[in-house]
C-alpha cells in the first residue's frame, strides 16, 4: 500500500511525517476559483475531493490498486465569504484588516480515496484575531510569509502573533488536522 499526499505543501508533508506516515508527494494543480453561490464549506470540500481525484487520475492501473490518496484544502470563512490567498500587498492588508479584532473560521477538508471509495471530511476551527494595525500588516507582508497563505497569515509562523485564541484544531489551521487525518487513514487500512 502506497500513501500519496496530493500536495506540494511542506507544512502538510511535515505534519504527516510528524505522525509517522511514510508517503510520497504528488503536487496537483486545479482551478481553485469559487463557483457561483458556493458556500465556503462546499468550496473547501470540493477542492479537497478534486485534488484527490486529480492525483488518482494520474496513476497507472497497477498503481491505483495499491494507492491511498490524501488531499487537503484550507480556507478562511469570514462573514459567509471565503478568504483565499492574497493577490497582492493591498489584498493582504485588506484581508488582515477585516480579520483584525474579529473571530473567523478556518475550514480544512481532508479527502482520502482508494480504488473503491472516497471520503471527505471538514474540520472547522474558530480563530480569534487580535487587533492589527495597517503598519503591522505592511511589516508582515514585507516578510513574504502571507503571500501564499489562505486569509493572508500563517498561524505556525510570524502570523501567529496576531492570533489571540483558537477553539478547535491548531493543526487544521496549519493545513492538516492530525487526529482526523489519522482516523481516516486508519479507516483505509493505513497505519503509521
Burial class from Cβ neighbours inside 10 Å (0-12, 13-18, 19+) for residue 38 reads middle
Residues composing the chain: 192
Helix axes 178-187, 10-19, angle to 10 degrees: 70
The rounded distance, in Å, linking the Cα atoms of 48 and 7 is 10
| 73 in catalytic set | yes
Q: Which of 66, 73, 88, 191 is catalytic?
A: 73
- In whole angstroms, how far apart are CA 138 and each of 89, 112, 144, 145? 8, 38, 10, 12
Catalytic positions, written as ranges:
73
Amino acid at each position: 500500500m502506497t500513501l500519496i499526499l496530493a500536495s506540494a505543501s511542506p507544512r502538510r508533508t511535515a505534519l504527516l511525517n510528524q505522525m509517522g506516515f511514510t508517503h510520497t508527494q504528488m503536487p496537483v494543480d486545479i482551478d481553485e476559483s469559487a463557483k457561483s453561490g458556493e458556500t465556503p464549506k462546499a468550496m473547501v470540500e470540493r477542492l479537497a475531493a478534486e485534488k484527490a481525484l486529480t492525483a488518482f487520475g494520474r496513476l497507472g492501473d497497477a498503481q491505483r490498486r495499491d494507492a491511498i490518496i490524501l488531499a487537503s484544502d484550507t480556507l478562511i470563512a469570514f462573514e459567509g465569504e471565503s478568504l483565499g490567498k492574497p493577490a497582492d500587498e493591498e489584498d493582504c492588508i485588506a484581508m488582515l484588516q477585516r480579520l483584525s479584532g474579529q473571530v473567523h473560521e478556518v475550514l480544512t477538508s481532508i479527502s482520502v480515496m482508494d480504488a473503491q471509495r472516497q471520503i471527505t471530511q471538514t474540520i472547522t476551527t474558530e480563530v480569534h484575531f487580535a487587533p492589527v494595525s495597517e503598519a503591522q500588516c505592511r511589516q508582515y507582508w514585507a516578510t513574504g510569509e502571507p503571500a501564499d497563505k489562505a486569509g493572508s497569515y500563517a498561524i505556525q509562523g510570524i502570523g501567529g502573533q496576531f492570533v489571540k485564541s483558537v477553539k478547535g484544531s491548531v493543526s487544521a489551521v496549519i493545513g492538516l488536522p492530525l487526529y482526523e487525518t489519522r482516523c481516516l487513514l486508519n479507516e483505509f487500512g493505513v497505519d503509521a
